[in-house]
Amino acid sequence: MNSPPFASELNLCLCHSCGLACDMTGHPHQCPRCNAPLHMRKANSLARTWAYMLAALVFYIPANVLPVMNTVMLGSGADSTIIGGVLEFWEHGAWDIALIIFIASIAVPGIKFVAITLLLVTAQRGSQWACRQRSKLYRFVELIGYWSMLDVIVVALVAALVKFQALGDIEPRAGILFFGLVVVCTMLSAMSFDPRLMWENRHSEEVMDEARSH
């Protein structure tokens, strides 16, 4: 099977906004159809992705250490962290809810850190290893992107509902701010990464392969 040509070989550029294949002769800066700026590759992709990811990693620590909410029930108050919330559900036998929160709040950001680091390091080394699988991994990271916002929304709703002064009161705490920042930063990080970087050294490789097969 013939492999399809790369856009750069045909002097074309994809418009990220409207999906038009733009002819790059004359080096236009804007998409002729929707006027969005055109880039052959996302600008400073690697540096931006690293920066957002490291920022997220830093926020991840206070997000897990600091309490996300404070519950006062009948006079006695307690701070709870994200992990604490998961454990509480687990101990009460609600393992399914515990699992949902664990996946959304702890596993998803964790997976994103590992996956983005892997993508960055391999892209930086110009690695040819498992390009297809790495592309798939990137799409997966994009897909799971915002699901970690779950905890922020849960805390917001619960805090809005339980407002009975002395009888019972729930307030959000600083942890939720850092947690939200982790989610926003990992989303920006995934958006800044350019998956096409993985395929860059592929050109020569495939030409060689074809030459060999003739």
Partner 1 sequence: MATTDRLIICEHCDSVYEKVVLAKRQKALCQRCGAVIQRYNGMTVQQRLALALTATVLWIFANFYPVMSISLQGLKNSATLWDSVLALSDGPITFMAMVAAIAMIIAPIIQLALLIWVLLFALTNRRSPGFAPCMRWLETLRPWSMLEVCLLGAMVAVFKLAGMLDVLPGIGLIALAVLSILLIKVAGRDVRDLWDTL
Q: Which stretch binds partner 1 (CB under 8 A): 43-51, 52-60, 117-125, 178-186?
A: 178-186
Question: How far is Cα 39 from Cα 29, in angstroms, rounded to an integer?
Answer: 8
Site map 72..101 versus partner 1, x via CB under 8 A: -x-----------x---x--x-x--x--xx
Q: Which stretch binds partner 1 (CB under 8 A): 31-39, 56-64, 107-115, 116-124?
A: 31-39
CB of 57 to partner 1, least distance (A): 19
In this structure, what are the phi and psi dihedrals at residue 194, rounded to the nearest 5 degrees?
-105, 105
The Cβ of residue 46 has, within 10 Å, a number of other Cβ atoms equal to 17
Find the distance separating the first CA and the last CA of the chain, reported in whole Å.
Answer: 13
In this structure, what are the phi and psi dihedrals at residue 6, rounded to the nearest 5 degrees?
-85, 150
Binding flag, residue 65, partner 1 (CB under 8 A): no
Subset of residues 133 to 162 that bind partner 1, contact rule: CB under 8 A:
135-136, 138-139, 145-147, 149-162
CB of 214 to partner 1, least distance (A): 20
Strands 21-23 and 69-73: unpaired
